[in-house]
Chains A and B, each alone.
Chain A
């Protein structure tokens, strides 16, 4: 445990050195939701649209997206391509836990940068002032659930870099799936009910949009159970795949 705490401390300092980089990625996460909000505001709705709840939904999504969306697959593909992965096979440290600690430390830095923006928004959006304590508690509880799900999904995708040389396409598919099916581009109220019903059994609704839906009171407890189930499934699958990946791994320096 101690070695992971040391690692956490080290990687926090490492990420803290790249604050500007993280700030830029936070800024990017606001562009898409804000553009959609502007388009929605300018377009004529065919049916009743609650514009206030859409604003709070998109603002929470923009804030949570850089905090919850893990991009550990990109890092894994980098170290697999460069051969740095070799170092892990010699060290008495778990590959999975090492990446989890690394991702957690990045989240800590992101959280530190996001908190002032979050409080600013919370003071602006009146919709958030009347939240019940149970909703706030559920919101807070949902954050680690979403993060673990996002991390495990990314870790699983990252393991493919042991087989595939150029990973951007696989990462693209992951990003598109999370953006479209995860409710980042449009909330689930925009989806046809048939698609929506199927989607709730997939991991995507629990990666980023779960906390925003908790705030809008659109979540029932069974969704938490599905999210937990997906965390267990993805963790088990990634552990098994990792063993196969190591057997398959080969690196020739160029």
Chain B
């Protein structure tokens, strides 16, 4: 574990230092990243002007959004580069370099460090969360804060597992560039609490409920809101299924890999 953490921190630090070297690029990246953060804030305020979320008060809804921002940017920070580079390596046939190393191929492929723009967005989202909590005089218990962080980390892991299902088809079909963004294409779904989709009662809930739980669970924990048992069952089932099947899928995909270009 220590070894893997060391490898990850080395690559993370390298990319962040590289970001600092190219200052114009960094400035543009910060603007690009914060632009998305602003878009979510603005669109959410438009939504809350017109609607009320079931079982979530307006202040709770803003805490939900701050959690969403922290989660989405954490996923971008930890996963985005890994997904993009793995797809590129599979299609170019350069995954050999990773496979030849005496470290877990899945770890080396997908965890390739983050970037300063996403870290800046995460920091902004954390500041927003603290501001909303103080403004509405909500003081979470330390255990709730710890659980909040644990569940956010678990959900980043879940999205990583899901990303494998998008990346692996590249081993078979080749050049599916759209698979890079696939796992992030669903982010609008987890911007709204599970209860909202539950009330909408549509066949789409097969997709919307599991995705929305990724933010609903940590946001409910920090607010000490009760989470219905059926949500826990769905969440744990998905956690187990994705963790097990992503590993099997990755290994199957690797067996199909050829570096011939």
A residues adjacent to B (C-beta < 8 A): 18, 20-21, 24-25, 28, 31-32, 34-36, 38-47, 49, 164-166, 168-173, 176-177, 179-180, 185-186, 190-191
A25 to chain B, nearest CB (A): 5
CB B226 to nearest CB in A, in angstroms, measures: 19
Nearest chain B CB to A51's CB is how many angstroms away?
11
Q: Is the CB of B196 within 8 A of A39?
A: yes
A sample of 9 more A-B contacts (CB under 8 A), given A24-B182, A28-B178, is A39-B196, A43-B51, A43-B53, A44-B52, A45-B50, A46-B49, A170-B28, A185-B43, A186-B43
Q: Which residues of A contact B198 (CB under 8 A)?
A: 42
A110 shortest CB reach to chain B, Å: 13
Given contacts A165-B22, A172-B33, A191-B46, contact A46 B51 (CB under 8 A): yes
- Chain B: interface size category: 35 or more
For the complex, give the distance between the alpha carbons of A190 and B48 in Å.
10
Q: Report the Cα distance A179→B208, complex, angstroms.
A: 21
Q: Which residues of A have CB within 8 Å of B42?
A: 180
How many angstroms between the C-alpha atoms of A54 and B46 in the bound complex? 15
Of A47, A49, A169, A179, the residue contacting B29 (CB under 8 A) is A169
Q: List the B side residues contacting A170 at CB < 8 Å.
A: 28, 32
Name the B residues within 8 Å of A41 (CB-CB): 199-200, 202
Write out the residue numbers on chain A whose beta carbons fall within 8 Å of the beta carbon of B195.
42
Which residues of A are found within 8 Å of B54, using beta-carbon distances? 42-44
Is B59 part of the contact surface with A, judged by Cβ < 8 Å?
Answer: no
Chain A residue with Cβ nearest B181: A28
Distance (whole angstroms) from the CB of A171 to the closest CB of chain B: 8
Inside 8 A of A169's CB, which chain B residues have their CB?
25, 28-33, 117
Closest Cβ neighbor of B195 among chain A residues? A42
Is chain B's interface secondary structure helix, strand, loop, or mixed overall?
helix
| Residue in A closest to B211 when the chains form the complex, CB atoms | A35
- Cross-chain contact of B188 among A21, A24, A25, A32 (Cβ < 8 A): A32
Interface membership of B100, Cβ < 8 A: no
Residue B192 contacts which of A18, A39, A164, A172 (CB distance < 8 angstroms)? A39
**Structural contact, B32 and A172, CB atoms closer than 8 A:** yes
Closest to A30 in B: B185
Please state if B35 and A38 are interface contacts (CB–CB under 8 Å): no
Most chain A CB neighbours (cut-off 10 Å) among B32, B39, B177, B202: B32
Could you tell me the distance in whole angstroms from the C-beta of A212 to the nearest C-beta in chain B? 17
Residues of B within 8 A of A38 (CB): 192, 196-197, 200, 202, 204-205, 208
Q: List 25 A-B contacts (CB under 8 A).
A: A18-B175, A20-B176, A21-B177, A21-B178, A31-B185, A35-B191, A35-B208, A38-B196, A38-B200, A42-B54, A42-B200, A43-B199, A44-B53, A46-B51, A47-B50, A166-B22, A172-B35, A173-B31, A173-B32, A173-B35, A185-B39, A185-B43, A190-B46, A190-B49, A190-B50
